[in-house]
Amino acid sequence: MALTADRLPPDTKHIDQSVGGLIIEYTVAATTTIYKGAFVRIDAGGDIEPCGSTSTEPCLGVAQEKADNSGGADGDIRCRVLVGAVIEHAVTATVADIEAPVYTSDDQTLTLTSTTNELLGVLIGIAGTNIGIIKCIWPGTGLN
């Protein structure tokens, strides 16, 4: 189920100099609300929108703030997005799944199923029961 309010962004306590992560501002698509903590992607026009199962475009990263462009045109407002980081987030996975690709099925749900879902990154560890440590892809680079 897609977000209907802000949430805390996924835990980034694993960020250090070796794993990086950048916060970049992107323009927001027309008639779109992005909630803080949402997984977002670039749409066909080059603006960001919440991830969802209607596209196989890769996930760009995690919104660091709410961006309400519900009454605006493409690019009227901007939103800061964390890209290329290592995050902790709920995902049904075990240690046997380490190195598996991780996908978004909506703007807050992660899965190991690729069908109709958007690539976020790769599972690099397990932090607890169904809590994964995920290395997010850098925009435009695929898994790395």
pLDDT of residue 10: 67
The architecture that CATH gives domain 22-136 is Beta Barrel (2.40)
Helix (H, G, I), strand (E, B) or coil at 114: coil
| Range from 29-33, 56-60, 82-86, 124-128 carrying the lowest mean pLDDT | 56-60
In whole angstroms, what is the distance from residue 128 CA to residue 137 CA? 22
Neighbours of 18 (CB within 10 A): 7
For residue 18, pLDDT beyond 60: no
Structural domain boundaries in the chain: 22-136
Asked whether 28 and 48 are in contact (CB, 8 A), the reply is yes
For residue 54, pLDDT beyond 80: no
Residue with tokens 């997005």: 81
In whole angstroms, what is the distance from residue 40 CA to residue 106 CA? 9
Neighbours of 22 (CB within 10 A): 12
